[in-house]
């Protein structure tokens, strides 16, 4: 994308500004498990629009808020939870202990690493926790509006969603049962608006009275609409599942207008991120990549770029194998004034223009066996400017993690300290080629070595490929490896020379 074409975030910002200059961009996720790369799209999309709003007009007053649905119930014992967590199914997440015992509670355990990742991604949000909002009384007015208008609310939801699940004992408010602790099984049987309490009866057999302040929560379709008014939300991205006809956004629009007397926010429905081979990512399935894992292998600016380069309505394929290298190189190739680069910017990316292909860092990492000083030496040998040490360090850490996790075997190698036995099977032409190279390489660039290999192949009347194979066998004990010219130029020349002479003599 060039400097003059507009980015989708700027297009959206323009439309939003037609509605006014004061904006609250809202985003939120239920922290029921590791918050994964699929969820990330919502936050990055919101942040891109928020930044575009701030860039477009200096008079705008915008906020970016993040609401964690901490008062939602635990739906089931997820695969990552201990079996005895069945006792907490139905409890609000905020009331459940940390399964690993390292944080004050369940919510912190999954939310805190996510908030740290947001910081890495240069996303600054004001955080709201739903349980605190309910306990602080932020929802009191909305609950008092909703309780007497139960039938009207139920009619709106049934009519728009096409469901008829709202029976006579349905209520927009779900109390927490003081006996069993669940927020999913007690039904409202009466209320007192002056006392701000509800009477309930629970399927566990208990009946009691709960305060509307913290003693329960609105059902989620009603909660969502109420929240818009409470927080003054004007813009909200959400997964496209919430945007289909009859969805929670549709019911939210009417609930917001008719019940809470508030104009619903500008919607930004977005498609899913599909992890190659794994399909739609969902935190309840257990097969996911968390955002922290993603940030281990992808530079934060590239993770932003992955999301920001695609319009929200298009799905994103993410393949953490070889295409990850292409993605990083593509980002590094963006011009300094490219809007995509601006919107993808994080703290660490603002200075890096060294342009070392990520694949070369991956190879250098393996040649140097992860030793950073050696990595710098290897890169310098192949002609790269290594003055931006901090950035190269960050990138080589990602390379190391990637090699441990998602890198396919085809890119992995290790320089063999002892000459591999396989060299015995090399043909006499292959051995001649190695001997020739041993006398040629000193001080030559990768490209020169590459050209020389082709020249030798003509002279010896063998295929270049058979020389490549001889090189990989002598150094790696493999039939394939990194691009040969570059690879040879990046190695210690004395070592290679001796190895090739030794190999040609076997
Ligand atoms: Zn913890
Ligand atoms: Zn109960």
Average pLDDT, integer, range 236-249:
87
Q: Are strands 273-275 and 126-129 parallel, antiparallel or unpaired?
A: unpaired
Over 70: is that where the pLDDT of 284 sits?
no
Over residues 423-432, the pLDDT tens digits come to 999 999 999 9
Question: Residue 64: beta bridge partners?
Answer: 25
Burial of 434 (0-12, 13-18, 19+ CB in 10 A): buried
pLDDT at 31: 87
Over residues 347-381, the pLDDT tens digits come to 765 555 557 999 999 999 999 999 999 999 999 98
- Lowest-pLDDT range of 12-26, 52-66, 294-308, 449-463: 52-66
Backbone φ, ψ for residue 129 (5° rounding): -110, 125
Over 80: is that where the pLDDT of 287 sits?
no
Indicate whether 482 belongs to any domain. Answer: yes
Closest ligand (CA of 183): 2
Please write down the long-range contacts of 182-189, taking CB distance under 8 Å and 24 or more positions apart: 182/73, 182/89, 182/90, 182/91, 183/71, 183/73, 183/90, 183/91, 183/92, 183/216, 183/217, 184/73, 184/90, 185/90, 186/210, 186/216, 188/147
User: 59 or 483, which is more confident?
Assistant: 483
Over residues 214-240, the pLDDT tens digits come to 999 999 999 999 999 999 999 999 988
pLDDT at 244: 82
Indicate whether 193 belongs to any domain. Answer: yes
> Which runs of E-coded beta strand occur in 227-342?
235-239, 266-270, 273-275, 279-280, 316-318
Closest ligand (CA of 110): 1
Instruction: Determine the distance separating the centroid of ligand 2 and the alpha carbon of 443, expressed in angstroms.
Output: 79
CA–CA distance, 108 with 102 (Å, rounded to integer): 9
Closest ligand (CA of 210): 2
CA atoms within 13 A on the CB side of 179: 12
Indicate whether 182 belongs to any domain. Answer: yes
Instruction: Determine the distance separating the centroid of ligand 2 and the alpha carbon of 201, expressed in angstroms.
Output: 8
Closest ligand (CA of 180): 2
In sequence order, what are the residues at sequence separation of 6 or more whose Cβ sits closer than 8 angstroms to the Cβ of residue 458? none
- Reduced to 3 states (helix: H, G, I; strand: E, B; else coil), residue 37 is helix
Over residues 122-165, the pLDDT tens digits come to 999 999 999 999 999 999 999 999 999 999 999 999 999 888 76
Indicate whether 25 belongs to any domain. Answer: no
Indicate whether 166 belongs to any domain. Answer: no
Distance of CA 211 to the CA centre of its chain: 38
Instruction: Determine the distance separating the centroid of ligand 1 and the alpha carbon of 368, expressed in angstroms.
Output: 35
Over 70: is that where the pLDDT of 285 sits?
no
Which residues span the domain enclosing 189?
A: 173-218
pLDDT at 422: 94
CA–CA distance, 232 with 126 (Å, rounded to integer): 14
The structural domain count of the chain equals 2
Over 80: is that where the pLDDT of 2 sits?
no
Instruction: Determine the distance separating the centroid of ligand 1 and the alpha carbon of 290, expressed in angstroms.
Output: 15
Instruction: Compute, in degrees rounded to 10, the torsion defined by CA atoms 351, 389, 305, 60.
Output: -30
* % of the chain surpassing 90 pLDDT: 75
pLDDT at 350: 53
Instruction: Determine the distance separating the centroid of ligand 1 and the alpha carbon of 80, expressed in angstroms.
Output: 13
Closest ligand (CA of 200): 2
Over 70: is that where the pLDDT of 4 sits?
no
According to the per-residue pLDDT averaged within each range, which of 31-45, 333-347, 407-421 is highest? 407-421
Average pLDDT, integer, range 158-184:
89
Instruction: Determine the distance separating the centroid of ligand 1 and the alpha carbon of 113, expressed in angstroms.
Output: 9
Instruction: Determine the distance separating the centroid of ligand 1 and the alpha carbon of 304, expressed in angstroms.
Output: 26
Over 90: is that where the pLDDT of 502 sits?
yes
Closest ligand (CA of 98): 1
| Mean per-residue pLDDT over the chain, rounded | 91
Indicate whether 274 belongs to any domain. Answer: no
Instruction: Determine the distance separating the centroid of ligand 2 and the alpha carbon of 169, expressed in angstroms.
Output: 16
pLDDT at 33: 86
Instruction: Determine the distance separating the centroid of ligand 2 and the alpha carbon of 92, expressed in angstroms.
Output: 13
Over residues 46-98, the pLDDT tens digits come to 999 999 999 886 788 999 999 999 999 999 999 999 999 999 999 999 999 99
Instruction: Determine the distance separating the centroid of ligand 1 and the alpha carbon of 316, expressed in angstroms.
Output: 31
Could you tell me where the DSSP H helices lie in 147-282?
A: 150-161, 220-231, 248-254
Q: Which of 218, 239, 273 is the last residue of a domain?
A: 218
Instruction: Determine the distance separating the centroid of ligand 2 and the alpha carbon of 69, expressed in angstroms.
Output: 22
Considering the entire predicted model, what is its pTM? 0.88
**Residues 499, 475 contacting (CB under 8 angstroms):** yes
- The CATH number for 444's domain is 1.10.10.350
Closest ligand (CA of 179): 2
CA–CA distance, 193 with 230 (Å, rounded to integer): 19
Closest ligand (CA of 90): 2
pLDDT at 104: 96
pLDDT at 277: 57
Give DSSP secondary structure letters for 159-184: HHH------TT--SEEEPPTTT--SS
Residue 463's pLDDT band, with cuts at 50, 70 and 90, is: very high
Distance of CA 259 to the CA centre of its chain: 36
Indicate whether 289 belongs to any domain. Answer: no
Indicate whether 252 belongs to any domain. Answer: no
> Measured over all CA atoms, what is the biggest interatomic distance in the chain, rounded to whole angstroms?
98
**Residues 235, 266 contacting (CB under 8 angstroms):** yes
3-state SS, one letter per residue, for 334-394? CCCCCHHHHHHCCHHHCCCCCCCCHHHHHHHHHHCCCCHHHHHHHHHHCCCCCCCHHHHHH
Instruction: Determine the distance separating the centroid of ligand 2 and the alpha carbon of 226, expressed in angstroms.
Output: 26
């Amino acid at each position: 994308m060039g400097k003059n074409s507009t980015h989708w975030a700027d297009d959206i910002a323009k439309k939003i500004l037609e509605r006014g200059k004061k904006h609250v961009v809202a985003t939120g996720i239920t922290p029921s498990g590791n918050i994964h790369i699929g969820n990330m799209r919502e936050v990055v999309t919101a942040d891109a629009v928020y930044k575009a709003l701030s860039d477009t007009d200096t008079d705008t007053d915008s906020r970016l808020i993040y609401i964690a649905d901490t008062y939602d119930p635990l739906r089931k014992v997820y695969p990552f939870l201990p079996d005895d967590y069945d006792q907490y199914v139905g409890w609000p997440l905020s009331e459940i202990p940390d399964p690993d015992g390292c944080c004050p509670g369940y919510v912190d355990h999954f939310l805190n690493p996510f908030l740290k990742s947001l910081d890495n991604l240069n996303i600054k949000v004001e955080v709201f926790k739903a349980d605190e909002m309910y306990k602080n009384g932020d929802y009191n007015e909305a609950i008092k509006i909703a309780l007497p208008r139960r039938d009207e609310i139920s009619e709106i939801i049934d009519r728009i969603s096409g469901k008829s699940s709202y029976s006579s004992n349905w209520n927009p408010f779900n109390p927490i049962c003081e006996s069993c602790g669940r927020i999913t099984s007690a039904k409202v049987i009466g209320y007192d608006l002056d006392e701000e309490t509800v009477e309930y009866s629970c399927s566990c057999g208990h009946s009691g009275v709960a305060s509307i302040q913290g003693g329960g929560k609105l059902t989620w379709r009603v909660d969502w609409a109420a929240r818009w008014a409470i927080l003054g939300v004007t813009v909200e991205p959400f997964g496209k599942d919430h945007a289909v006809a009859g969805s929670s956004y549709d019911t939210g629009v009417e609930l917001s207008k008719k019940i809470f007397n508030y104009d619903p926010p500008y919607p930004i429905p977005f498609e899913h991120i599909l992890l190659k081979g794994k399909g739609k990512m969902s935190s309840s399935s257990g097969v996911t990549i968390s955002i922290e894992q993603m940030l281990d292998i992808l530079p934060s600016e590239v993770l932003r770029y992955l999301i920001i380069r695609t319009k929200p309505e298009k799905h994103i394929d993410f393949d953490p194998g070889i295409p990850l290298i292409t993605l990083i190189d593509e980002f590094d190739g963006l011009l300094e004034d490219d809007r995509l680069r601006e919107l993808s910017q994080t703290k660490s990316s603002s200075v890096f223009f060294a342009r070392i292909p990520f694949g070369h860092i991956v190879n250098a990492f393996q040649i140097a066996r992860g030793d950073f000083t050696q990595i710098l030496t290897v890169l310098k040998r192949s002609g790269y400017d290594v003055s931006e040490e901090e950035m190269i360090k960050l990138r080589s850490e990602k390379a190391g993690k990637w090699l441990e996790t998602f890198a396919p075997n085809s890119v992995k190698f290790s320089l063999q300290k002892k000459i591999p036995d396989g060299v015995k099977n090399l043909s006499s032409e292959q051995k001649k080629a190695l001997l020739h190279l041993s006398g040629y390489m000193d001080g030559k660039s990768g490209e020169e070595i590459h050209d020389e290999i082709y020249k030798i192949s003509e002279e010896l009347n063998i295929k270049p490929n058979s020389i490549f194979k001889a090189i990989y066998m002598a150094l790696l004990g493999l039939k394939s490896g990194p691009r040969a010219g570059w690879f040879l130029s990046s190695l210690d020349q004395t070592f290679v020379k001796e190895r090739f002479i030794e190999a040609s003599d076997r």
